[in-house]
Amino acid sequence: MPVQGRKVAVVGMSIVAPTCKNLDDFSSKLFAGESMIRLWDKAAAYGKQVRSTVAGFVNPEDTDLEPIYGGVSAEYPETYIDNKGRIPDINLATADLGSIWAMIGAKESIEMAGWTPAEVQSEGTGVVIGSGGGGNEISRIAWHGFFKEGKKTRYAGSHTVDRAMGYREAANVSCFIKNRGACEAIVSACATGLGNIGYAYRLIKFGLQDRAITGGIEGTALETFIGFDAMQVLSKGFSPEQSSRPFDLHRNGFVCSFGSGVIALEEYEMAKARGAKIYGVIDEYFNNSDGDGDMFAPSFAGQQRLWAGLSAGGARIKPDVVKVHGTSTPVGDIIELLSVAEVLGESGYHVSAPKSQFGHMLGAAGSVEFIAALQMLDKQKVSPCVNSDTLNTELEFFQLKDNWKGPMKPVAEYRHLIPQQAVEKEINQIVCLNYGFGGTNSALAVSRDV
């Protein structure tokens, strides 16, 4: 149970996003409505083997990392050199690309938070970081060498396990910062980023930790892209910058992207007492499952229960902005929008869909979009939903079914909620929503410190 009087503050953050040099660059592009999506040469090189060729990719060099290729394979980075000297070689040796981003994010978030080494390396500091998938690039080369080429196990190198295990980001960050509190990874598909933040929030709210490094990661991997391309769920047929188009009538899939969002959380009174800058206060977090047995389809009923659970925690939930999941999938976008409207009505808030600019970062989506929400609180602006050019003036097919229990208005009736350019307004609270395969749903409300 929550400990009476304990609140949770955001005191630091760090981001890796396509085409962005740093957090300020990301924020600038976010409100300018600039696309961070590009033609991916690695995907395009496979010609007709793939359907989609656009992505929000981040190369190692974009984050000042230099891959070192050795005897294992010309495609297999045995380790990386950090050209900025942020991460020691011993930590780089056990990390894949995403894990290095996680360590860099931890370092930058701690510096922004102003935590001392004694605070970081204490039992009061936890690590809760995960990724949606990953490790694929490491595993593909290692196992191909053994099973197809008949090479000995040592060909795979001595760090295949620690560089590909599902817990790798949390493990690498914990070893890097040397915390003595919790070290866990929550993996919940595309809700992973927000789920880790929510779990870390609960650890602090329940009095189990005083501070936490948390978030979500998705390291660039062609294997991940190919998996989704095989499902035929990726956007195709548009220019790169027009490919991600939440709510638009002509949307046909999401844009696969990669990145990292790491957050520093701290018990509110502790942060205030030491004079920390507070970027936001988490009001409440709730997560649930649809319970309908469907692995992929969104659930209006599940999302309604999600909102009910968020409101039942005792916090006042009256958002000025709803940061939606908004992937550009044909069914998911509209069910989510109608679910929001069913709960909040048709006025008094705006809908933000950041994936329209940088695509779907999978395990990193929730945490990077949470950072986007924090930027909205800071700048008092709503980020635009670019490419939402044409909204359907007719009812969706699922609205015509007998079992549909939601609003009976076409999407075009909600045009006023979905800004196509940044909107300046007073923003005191934002609700962030993320969903994932298996019917997992997450919602988090964050407010300005007042």
User: 400-424 pLDDT, tens per residue?
Assistant: 999 999 999 999 999 999 999 999 9
Per-residue pLDDT of the chain (450 residues; tens, 9 = 90+): 778 889 999 999 999 999 999 999 999 999 999 999 999 999 999 999 999 999 999 999 999 999 988 766 677 788 899 999 999 999 999 999 999 999 999 999 999 999 999 999 999 999 999 999 877 777 777 778 888 888 888 877 788 888 888 899 999 999 999 999 999 999 999 999 999 999 999 999 999 999 999 999 999 999 999 999 999 999 999 999 999 999 999 999 999 999 999 999 999 999 999 999 999 999 999 999 999 999 999 999 999 999 999 999 899 999 999 999 999 999 999 999 999 999 999 999 999 999 999 999 999 999 999 999 999 999 999 999 999 999 999 999 999 999 999 999 999 999 999 999 999 999 999 999 999 999 999 999 999 998
Residue 293 pLDDT = 96
Residue 71 pLDDT = 62
Q: Assess contact for 265 and 129: CB atoms under 8 A.
A: no
Q: Classify residue 120: in a domain, yes or no.
A: yes
Residue 72 pLDDT = 63
Strands 54-55 and 350-352: unpaired
Strands 183-184 and 77-82: unpaired
Q: Classify residue 3: in a domain, yes or no.
A: no
Q: Assess contact for 335 and 306: CB atoms under 8 A.
A: no
Q: Classify residue 2: in a domain, yes or no.
A: no
Other residues' Cβ atoms within 10 Å of the Cβ of residue 105: 27
Q: Assess contact for 204 and 211: CB atoms under 8 A.
A: yes
Which DSSP category does 257 fall into? B
Q: Assess contact for 27 and 229: CB atoms under 8 A.
A: no
Q: Classify residue 421: in a domain, yes or no.
A: yes
User: CATH no. for residue 152?
Assistant: 3.40.47.10
Which DSSP category does 3 fall into? P
Residue 168 pLDDT = 95
Q: Classify residue 288: in a domain, yes or no.
A: yes
Q: Classify residue 122: in a domain, yes or no.
A: yes
Which DSSP category does 22 fall into? S
Which two structure tokens, joined as six digits, stand for 215?
């978030």
Other residues' Cβ atoms within 10 Å of the Cβ of residue 286: 20
In DSSP terms, 430 is beta-bridged to 321, 446
Q: Residue 110: give the domain boundaries.
A: 8-401+409-447
What is the number of domains present in the chain? 1
Q: Classify residue 225: in a domain, yes or no.
A: yes
